[in-house]
Chain A
Amino acid sequence: MTRHSNPPGQPLTALYLLHVGSMDARLIGLSTERHWKHQVKLASALNQAEVVLVDCDRPGIEAAVEQLAAYPRTGVVYYAFHPKDHAQRFPNRVILGKPLNLEALPAILAKAAADAAHVIAAPPPRFVAPPPAPVVVEEPGPASLGHGLQTEDERDLCGAMDDLPATPGQPLPDRLFFNPDEYIIGHIHRAVEQAANTGRPHLVAGLPRLIGVRATPVPACITDFRDNQLRPLSMTQLPLTTARIVSASTLPQGSGNEIVHSSEDLLWNVAAWAARGRLPAGADPYRPVRLRAWPNCTKVFMSPHAMRIAALWTRTWASPVEIAARLGIAQRYVFSVYASARFAGLLDTSLPPRPVAPAAPARQFSAPEDPTIQTATTAPTAGKASPEPETKQTQQRPSILSRILRKLLNAV
């Protein structure tokens, strides 16, 4: 993305966010305010727009598209996780893939607006019902994803990518990966590393608000970005020139509203928001790794199933694909944890000491069927008692544990 690539005075493209999730709206709003202020302006109503943006994956798209019938000279840019799936519904329309490439978006919006302005009497875009989808019988999933994530948020934060095959062999799709250098996570991670190596505070300069890093007495990040500002910023692709790492003798005084995060917690969150269910470039989804520790779950963003993933991945070497198969969950949830753990320094990628068994078939991982669970313990091996006397106790546990868990999920 080239900042201010349009000279001042150039007409701005009036964009209306017709059918867009709250997270994307914040992200685009931030981009408009920060990077596109000479290219795009947000329109407050559909009749003031030259182009509209529509998220195909959100429910209620039919009603949104119906509104466009009255505005044939307004450009429409759709976007979706799987653009090809929507090509039949919206022929001859631009359908971008998620996540949006914010560098290219202003030009695409401008072109769509210009193209639509030349339309004289084009037939109004009507919603074409998609062909009936094949019936897929899903295995019953958990009654709740837990941790308070709503469906829309979950899609925004973990994506909707299809699972990879259980075994390697096919080329990995590009959309599986994100390049951390194109996001704020790459900058913050480098700042934390440099602060740790030099013992001096470092700043991520060039941002509208403070992000500083100190190494002592404990590694910490100081920022006056609030979470609802940091999250869209973390999801936005930043030009490399936007931010730079600078060493400082002390961290400057900010607005007085600075929040101190442990570096590990901040890196976990920012990485999760950048990843959106993808892996960092270079990661191998079939290579066994493990978590060297649980994340600080009381303070960090917990994607769906993150605690189950942490519980299993701290006790076993397994690839992301294998963890997803063992827990019977979508791989994107595991990829999200992988990305966060890697930047937070919680991922152990050294080779396992012994060969790892092949991935188990996809099924729900449950204690009665898996002997490793019944004997698993966090106590030192030397002091470990034989599990034999506890057989009766552990056999009775799953139901009571599940009931306690349900109670707690409802409580939180």
Chain B
Amino acid sequence: MRSERARHNKIIFSGTVGAGKSTAIAALSDIPPVATEAVASDETGLIKKTTTVAMDYGVLNLPGGEKVMLYGTPGQERFNFMWEILSEGGIGLVLLINNANPDPLADLQGYLHAFKDFISKTAVAIGVTHMDRAEAPDLDAYRTRLASLGHQPPPAVFRVDARSRDDVAMLVKALLYTLNPGLIDA
């Protein structure tokens, strides 16, 4: 029997520290997002003052009272034991990669590996953030890396501003259409 968590509709947001997971959930959520943030005490502190240590939580309210939960995983890898728990029963994964990190393509590879089982049952859409600060690698480099990792058909990879509701919504739409290109909004 699937757990209580698994019966909820949820979309998982994951990605590197500072990629904008909390911001993206805040941009899309219909409620003020709940965040379990703490003052960053490790190397994360060099990137931002606070960081998510358990999860971010937002909600999309659908007509009829139904809810879709938006879960953000903590970015630090020492919390990766939570990733599997959070993603259980999820609709799909929105993966955010900070392009200003030293090796964003390695970050991409690491997260895809960590969520390999989840993605194999669902789908992933990838948002690359902070491309205004770091032009390279460009989207084609991401696509090339995805192809080399055997991701076929290629997942959607967009340049994203995590503060933009339009951009985040576009990522989620790509995730939905990846699951079913025949979807119509009816």
Determine if A378 is an interface residue (Cβ-Cβ < 8 Å). yes
Give the residue name and chain of the B residue nearest to A406 (CB).
B185
> In the bound complex, what is the Cα–Cα distance between A64 and B58 (angstroms)?
51
Q: Are B182 and A217 in contact (CB under 8 A)?
A: no
Q: Which of B159-175 contact A (CB under 8 A)?
A: 159-161, 164-167, 169-174
CB nearest neighbor in A for B139: A296
Q: How far is the CB of B155 from chain A (nearest CB, A)?
A: 4
Task: Give Cα distance in the complex from A405 to B179, angstroms.
Answer: 12
Q: Is A150 an interface residue (CB 8 A)?
A: no
CB B112 to nearest CB in A, in angstroms, measures: 8
- Chain A residues with Cβ below 8 Å from B143 are 292-293
Query: What string of 1s and 0s marks CB contacts (under 8 Å) between B42-58 and chain A?
Result: 00000000000000000
- Contact in complex: A378, B185 (CB < 8 Å): no
A selection of 30 A-B contacts at a CB cut-off of 8 Å is A142-B184, A143-B184, A143-B186, A294-B154, A294-B174, A297-B156, A297-B174, A298-B164, A308-B182, A308-B183, A309-B181, A310-B156, A365-B181, A367-B180, A377-B120, A378-B152, A381-B150, A383-B120, A400-B9, A400-B66, A401-B91, A401-B183, A403-B66, A404-B9, A404-B62, A405-B173, A405-B183, A406-B186, A407-B68, A412-B166
CA distance A377 to B119 in the complex (A): 7
B169 contact set on A, CB distance < 8 A = 408, 411-412
CB of B102 closer than 8 Å to a CB of A: no
Contact of B170 among A297, A308, A327 (CB under 8 A): A297
Are A407 and B62 neighbours in the complex by a CB distance under 8 Å? yes
Q: Which residues on the A side are within 8 Å of B63 (C-beta)?
A: 403, 406-407
B182's contact among A373, A377, A393, by CB below 8 Å, is which? A373
Whether A398 sits at the interface, judged by CB under 8 Å, is yes
Q: Which residues of A lie under 8 Å from residue B156 when comparing CB positions?
A: 294, 297, 310-311
- The tally of CB-CB contacts under 8 A between chains A and B is 191
| A298 near B166: Cβ-Cβ < 8 Å | yes
A370 interfacial contact with B, CB 8 Å:
yes
Q: Does A384 contact B (CB under 8 A)?
A: yes
Whether A296 and B158, one on each chain, are in contact in the complex, defined by CB atoms closer than 8 angstroms, is: yes
CB distance from A380 to the nearest CB of B (A): 3
User: B residues within 8 A CB of A217?
Assistant: 135-136
With A218-B136, A401-B179 in contact, is A315–B153 under 8 Å at CB? yes
B68 touches A298 (CB 8 A): no
Q: Which residues of A contact B108 (CB under 8 A)?
A: none
Q: How large is the interface on A (under 10, 10 to 19, 20 to 34, 35 or more residues)?
A: 35 or more
State how many residues of chain B have any CB contact under 8 Å with chain A. 60
A143 CA / B161 CA spacing, docked (Å): 28
**B120 A404 Cβ-Cβ under 8 A:** no
A411 touches B153 (CB 8 A): no
**10 closest pairs, A vs B, by CB?**
A380-B150, A365-B182, A315-B153, A379-B120, A311-B181, A311-B177, A312-B181, A406-B185, A142-B184, A378-B155
A220 to B166, CA, bound (A): 23
| With known contacts A217-B135, A262-B138, A297-B170, A380–B180 Cβ distance under 8 A | no
CB-defined contacts of B151 to chain A, threshold 8 Å? 378-380
Q: Using CB atoms, name the residue of chain A closest to B118.
A: A379
Nearest-Cβ distance from residue B126 to partner chain A, whole angstroms: 9
Q: How far is the CB of B177 from chain A (nearest CB, A)?
A: 4
With beta carbons under 8 angstroms apart, the residue of A140, A298, A402 that contacts B183 is A402
Interface contact B119-A378, CB-CB below 8 Å: yes
Within 8 A of A (CB), among B109-126: 116-117, 119-124
Return chain B residues, CB-CB under 8 Å to A312: 181
Beta-carbon contact of A142 and B173 below 8 Å: no
A142 to B66, CA, bound (A): 22
User: A144: which B residues are within 8 A, CB to CB?
Assistant: 185
Find the residue from A220, A365, A373, A401 having the highest chain B CB count within 10 A: A401
Instruction: Kindly list 20 other residue pairs between chains A and B, CB separation below 8 angstroms, not including A367-B183, A380-B152.
Output: A142-B186, A293-B157, A297-B156, A298-B161, A298-B164, A298-B167, A298-B171, A314-B153, A314-B154, A365-B182, A378-B124, A378-B151, A380-B149, A380-B150, A401-B179, A402-B186, A405-B185, A407-B62, A411-B169, A412-B173
A146 and B185 in contact (CB under 8 A), knowing A293-B143, A297-B174? yes
Chain A residues with Cβ under 8 A from B171's Cβ? Answer: 298
Residues of A within 8 A of B139 (CB): 262, 264, 293, 296
Out of B154, B164, B180, B185, name the residue touching A292 (CB < 8 Å).
Answer: B154
Decide if A219 is an interface residue (CB 8 Å cutoff). Answer: yes
| B143 shortest CB reach to chain A, Å | 5
Taken together as a complex, chains A and B put the C-alpha atoms of A321 and B154 apart, in Å, by 22
